[in-house]
């Protein structure tokens, strides 16, 4: 949480909270507009609170929550508090009933205040805060045995006041960057390239395959040609080094802890921060 009281309202796979200092050290000293086309939990945006910002994500349920908090914070809190205040005779059964209702609304494309509240509730009460969906795009993460409060009211109101003054988009990362121009800063935190080249984990039903990584690398080159400041983070893999190496970009390798991993021995690793200035 920043001094402003603003911070991520969900935990998200690949979140950059632990790299904030490293990112800050490498950010351009001055820039015009800020773009974050893979916003996820928003750790970077909410740390630096750029005044002219465009945030985007492919996950429609997540962006629905951003937009609801921006425009209807009081109603959102009413729904979340109602979920938290239910008498939980059986926390596990209650969690799965909410998860089922959430998935039912996803199937019906009911992106509303209730869905936003349920997203935050299940995020705080699911295993490791992992947002994972099955082949049908339905959330399937189990209960974490927690009964903690889903969010803090003061933080939601502070977040709402910030979000209502920036642009919130939902869709493909290329579309989110269409208006970026010389002097703008783009922080690109796409889904991770696989440590094992034969496997991909997806956090949305759309997925993010190798061709998506290649498309992002082409966009990075295009944005560089436009005169944009670009910073990208990812795993330190052969694929990422192949896509961004030998182009004059700075590539710094940093140590990280990987919190979302079933094997504790694999919760350490290296990531790269790539920037073009």
The CATH number for 213's domain is: 3.40.50.150
* Residue 198 and residue 127 share a domain: no
* Residue 176 and residue 144 share a domain: no
User: Could you give the CA distance from residue 5 to residue 38 in angstroms, rounded to a whole number?
Assistant: 22
Q: Which residues pair with 135 in a beta bridge?
A: none
Q: Is 263's pLDDT higher than 60?
A: no
* Residue 197 and residue 268 share a domain: yes
**Over residues 113-134, mean pLDDT:** 94
* pLDDT tens-digit readout, 6-19: 999 999 887 788 89
Q: Is 276's pLDDT higher than 70?
A: yes
CATH code: domain of residue 129: 1.10.1020.10
* Residue 53 and residue 69 share a domain: no
* Residue 193 and residue 147 share a domain: no
Query: What pLDDT is recorded for position 202?
Result: 52
The 3-class secondary structure across the chain, one letter per residue, is: CCCCCCCCCCCCCCCCHHHHHHHHHHCCCCCCCEEECCCCCCHHHHHHCCCCEEEEECCHHHHHHHHHHHHCHHHHHHHHHHHHHCCCCCHHHHHHHHHHHHHHHHHCCCCCHHHHHHHHHHHHHEHHHCCCECCCCCECCCECCCCCCCCCHHHHHHHHHHHCCCEEEECCHHHHCCCCCCCCEEEECCCCCCCCCCCCCCCCCCCCCHHHHHHHHHHHHHHHHHCCEEEEEEECCHHHHHHHCCCCCEEEEEEEECCCCCCHHHCEEEEEEEECC
* Residue 256 and residue 120 share a domain: no
pTM (2 decimals)? Answer: 0.91
* pLDDT tens-digit readout, 174-193: 999 999 999 999 999 998 88
User: Could you give the CA distance from residue 270 to residue 145 in angstroms, rounded to a whole number?
Assistant: 31
φ and ψ of 273, to 5 deg: -115, 120
Contact 155, 3 (CB under 8 A): no
Contact 219, 263 (CB under 8 A): no
* Residue 69 and residue 51 share a domain: no
Count of structural domains, the chain: 2
* Residue 264 and residue 142 share a domain: no
Query: What pLDDT is recorded for position 14?
Result: 76
* Residue 194 and residue 70 share a domain: no
* pLDDT tens-digit readout, 219-260: 999 999 999 999 999 999 999 999 999 999 999 999 987 655
* Residue 196 and residue 115 share a domain: no
What residue numbers bound the domain in which 117 lies? Answer: 64-154
Average pLDDT of the residues of the chain: 91
| Residue that is last in its domain, among 119, 154, 189 | 154
């Amino acid at each position: 949480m920043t001094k402003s009281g603003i911070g991520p309202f969900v935990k998200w796979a690949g979140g950059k909270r632990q790299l904030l200092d490293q990112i800050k050290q490498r950010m351009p000293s001055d820039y015009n507009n800020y773009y974050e086309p893979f916003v996820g939990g928003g750790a970077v945006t909410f740390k630096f609170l750029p005044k002219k910002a465009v945030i985007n994500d492919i996950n429609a349920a997540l962006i629905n929550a951003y937009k609801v908090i921006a425009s209807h914070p009081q109603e959102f809190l009413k729904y979340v508090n109602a979920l938290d205040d239910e008498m939980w005779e059986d926390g596990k059964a209650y969690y799965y009933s909410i998860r089922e209702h959430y998935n039912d609304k996803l199937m019906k494309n009911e992106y509303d205040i209730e869905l936003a509240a349920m997203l935050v509730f299940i995020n705080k009460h699911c295993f490791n805060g992992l947002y994972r969906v099955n082949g049908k795009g339905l959330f399937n993460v189990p209960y974490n045995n927690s009964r903690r409060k889903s969010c803090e009211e003061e933080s939601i109101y502070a977040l709402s006041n910030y979000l209502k003054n920036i642009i919130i988009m939902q869709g493909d990362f290329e579309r989110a960057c269409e208006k970026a121009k010389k002097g703008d800063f783009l922080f690109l935190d796409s889904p991770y390239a696989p440590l094992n080249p034969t496997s991909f984990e997806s956090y949305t039903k759309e997925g993010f395959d190798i061709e998506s990584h290649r498309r992002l690398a082409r966009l990075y080159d295009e944005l560089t040609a436009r005169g944009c400041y670009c910073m990208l983070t990812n795993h330190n893999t052969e694929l990422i080094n192949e896509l961004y190496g030998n182009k004059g970009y700075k590539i710094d390798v940093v140590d990280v802890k990987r919190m979302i991993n079933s094997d504790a021995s694999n919760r350490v690793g290296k990531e790269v921060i790539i920037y073009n200035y």
